[in-house]
Structure 1
Amino acid sequence: MEKRSLSKKNIQDEKFLNALAEAFRLQEAILSTTELAILSVTPEGIISSFNRAAEHLLGYSGEEVIGKTSSLIFHDLDEVIKRAQLLSEALNMVIEPVFDVFTIKARIQKTPNREDWTFIRKDGSRFPALLSVSALRDDQDVITGYVGIITDLSYMKVFDDRVRESEEKFRVLAENIPGAIYLCHHDKNYSVIYINDHIERITGYPANDFLTGKVSFSHLFHPEDAEMINSRVNKAVQDRKRFHLRYRLRHRSGEWRWVDEVGIGVFVDGKLSMLEGFLSDITAQKTAEEKLHKIVEENLRVFNNAVNLNVICGFDGYFKRVSLSWTTITGWSEIELLSRPFFDFVHHEDIEATHEAFAAIKNGDNMFTFENRYRCRDGSYRWLLWSSACDQNHQVVYASAIDITERKKSEEELLNSKKNIEAIAVKLQERNRQLDEFAHIISHNLRSPVGNIQALINLLDENSDIREYRLIFDKLKNVAKNLGGTMNDLMDTLKVKTQTDVERVEVHFKDLLDKVRQSLEGEMILAEASVTHNFERAHSIRYPKAYLESIFQNLLSNAIKYRAPNRKAKIHFETNVRNEAVELRVTDNGQGIDLKKFGDKLFGLHRTFHNHDEARGVGLFLIKTQIESMGGSITAESQVGKGTTFIIQFG
């Protein structure tokens, strides 16, 4: 049963390919026999096709121009320069006197552009002609080239027999092209005016069923596609542009067929008369695309999720594809890595050896132990150990590298033991300095609570009664509570000062904000505070999760703690990207801070600016220390009585 299904599918695929080939042959035959001079060019203007009528009109053969020259060869340079100046003024943009002069309007307006030009034949003779230029676009609306039709205005005559001949050619084309050509009304059923017999191959219904209204397109649309089809057709008609759709139609057998449709509205005296278009069955193509997409997706998953730095590069010295680990390790974006020769990233001392190795690889010598240094975006260099294989047929090299920077550092440390010991000594001195500083902080911050405990105890003696003991005990509990808070703050500060290598992980702002909001939910309810956010411009960041949670916790709790007494607290978190760095802005409508008076003390340890029982002046100092330890900065904007905004630039 399975073999029979596969055989049936192979037959369907073969029929599709044969039909497609027949369509291409028919297209070539039409282009060869038409009296219209037609040429097509690449997006850069290089001629890619040149029919016989164009050869006869311009005097060049296809071999002389296809793939070898730009269409500028047929034009007067002075006329091109003048047109460029006029276009620059009309479009309010600089148009260079190059290929853009012919295509800019067709590209911007997305409609064929017709202009009169002076053409120059190979023998030097000149003639006036009408040039109609249309942009060719793929399914993603990306321009793949342009097609131009040249009409000789010096011999422009219209004869009834030619009209009849064109009508006959259209009839022959309509009946033989592997697809359905239609004319229909723009009503809810898309009532058919004309359709060729190929519609039966696509839907299983004969053309007459559509013409008599027995069957309508709207009843064959897949339910999930119907709204999209109607919306895009209506929009195209409104804008007077063509529409290009891919959707599913129900075949008479009950199965769903994928179709590709291109159509446009026909307007008479400014009013929509009908829709015309072309339908083709792309079911086999769609199935093949899905299989190919799955294979590509699997390959990309392996390519991008590997720890190694995988890369595909061309013989021209440019990377064609890089794995995600390149951005993580080097800091360069994918666009930056692909847009420059990879030799630009190689350490100047390694360029010569890299050139020699690359030449050997292109000659077919695979390498497994080549080492060189690559420059990171921050100016540092990473040592890479390469293995590679060459595909000479496609002129590409498949290579994989591992980061051996740490190994190299270890080797250098072994060779430079004295420097290593000195570096350790410096680190120990710094650590001792930090510990000494911490000892001073402890001494300063614990002196008052310890003295307070001693004073309270001294108030009691053998003559004190139970009420005095209870009173003193309650006061001691408060002192102990405050002392515990002070110790916790000091320990957090010490951790920040002593941790110099904190792991960065991918942290999503919304997930973290949700967690912090839950931890402060009770306070928010009591304060009737509302918290909003907008993380659309930057959803996440690579950052120490504990630090970012501390930042969110302190800023949110401060906003609640120092809310305005005459209104409900509103706090808004928002991210942005400035100078390629993520920025976080936290705004509240609280009491505000007098920055002229306290601006230089805002982030100082134990600095407070409002009367509050729980204010200790540690939170802002702590998050500033955390942010700066990661290479970032924090500033504030505030107005007394209106609120405060903290701006964090992450490093």
Structure 2
Amino acid sequence: MKVQKIHRNNYIVKQLPTATVYLNRKFEIIHASDQWANEFENDSIDILGKNIFDQIHTEASSDLKNLLILCLEGKSTQFNTEWCAQNDDLSKWFEWSITPWYDDNENIIGAIVQVQNISLHVQVDQRFHKLESLLREKAEFANIGIWEFDPIKEKVWWCERTKAIHGVSDAFVPTFNNIIDFYKPGYSRNSFALALENAATKGASWNEKLQIITPEGIEKWIITTGSPTFKNKKFTGLLGSFQDISQTVEIETRTKENERLLQTLIDNLPLNVYIKDTESRKILVNKSEADYVGLGSRQELLGKNDFDVYDHKTAKIGRNEDLWVMKNRKSIMSKEDLCIKKDGTETIFSVSKIPYIDENNEIAGIIGMSIDITDIKQKERELKDLINVTSLQNKKLIDFAHIVSHNLRSHTANFSMLLDFLTHEKNEDEKSKIMKMLTDSSDSLLETLDNLNEVVAINTNVNQEKKKVALKEKVEQVESDLQAFLTNNNALIINQIPQKLVIKVVPDYLESILMNFITNSVKYSNPERRPVIVLTTENKNGYTVLSIADNGSGIDLKKYGDKLFGMYKTFHDHKDSRGIGLYISKNQIEAMNGKVEVESAVGKGTTFKIYFNEKD
């Protein structure tokens, strides 16, 4: 908005009918009218930003500089006739007017210098009449009136424009006393009375923005100036001006009100809004953006770029986006960006950026909007995890149904066949053999049903409470329970788990898992060497990883890797192989939100890595 205001002011000043420049406090030209350029034979664009004393040359440059300094101090506004030599063949006379330049907070930020070419009048009339004529002419354009006080005659003189500003007729006779009554009671009246007293007693000039009330009750904002005049160091009167700035103040008031309304609107939007200049510095932010950055107030954020508030990587991404939008004059809509602040806080935003184009169709920056979608992305991840779990459970259910159907059908067929044999067999010895086979089949069926029930129990009781368990102690307990088995097989367990390591697990599941993996390591040991099982742990990406490594026969993972944890899958000719242990252990691990991995080489041994989830 500041950029727009500067361009608008340039546009207005260029069209002023008088030669006018706006100077900053360094006497650099900020705005210049075309008339100024014509009078001094300069280009109104080329002189912007340059020192006024480098552009014009007068016989009284030092006096002009002193007047400008006084003006910047708010002490005086002076009118002077100066001679300016343009070149050896041409001389011009100008009338100078210097007025303070105020910002929105009524601070003097520079000076307004207006000149009038009076070369044709210098030889025609006296200095006073020329000045009066010039002021009247300027008053027509700038709504400025002049006034004068003669202390000897005790008379106050107002020009027609001054009377019009005060809403009185040409017949009105101002006096030193009644002019004070026009000022609004309070600050304005007290300030004007004090200014008159200081001018008369101390020789002080003034330049004030005050309010007056006309006889009809209309309130107006004016800029009133006054300067004492002296002759031989003796006070001879006061000379000053009145400028009606009511329309300007009304426009400024409406502008500020519109700005407040706009600010209120964007402050209550459920998203972060900001405007950046071409250097990616923020020139407008809403409350949400200021609150997110955490700098306390909007003013503290203005003028800062992303490198001031985000880590370098995040800021670089933001800057590249800004440059792309400004270069291509195209928008970025709903792009997901991870923003990391310097304190490490991470937020996922849906970011939209559009080019900010000024009234001259030039790129002035970007307008950005972003909304925090961190919670939405978390919900998406949770939903995705739920879908994955559901899919996995559904696959397990289908696999389980196939296994149950196949196994029960096998047992049923076996029973049917044996019963048929028994019905038709006459030999008692053969009948006894068949009865034994029926008994064995019955035991096998019961074992199958027990295994299936255990699998069902694991997958239906997924919310069993996890408790803290000392892992090293649990391994020692399992080793004690298997002592006879281990001794008979001359097996050695090397427990390298830290003594104080505690994990959150379902205790019964952990015991079953350790039993299965340790007994398997012994069962499938290499007959040529003593079975050795080494247990170690490590922390990895939020998991406590238990490694169970043996020096057994190993598994051909290329051949059996995808079937290793299947139900009733066996990979050795061991007489006790059932193919159910690893399947049950894997289900128990996954029921605790963990996972299991395997590394193996035929003839060298196998390492199972069990991941216990530390987060849930």
Pair in the same fold by TM > 0.5: no
Which bracket does the TM-score occupy, shorter chain normalised? 0.3 to 0.5
When normalised by structure 2's length, the TM-score is: 0.44
Larger radius of gyration: 2
- Larger relative helix fraction: 1
* TM-score (normalizing by structure 1): 0.42
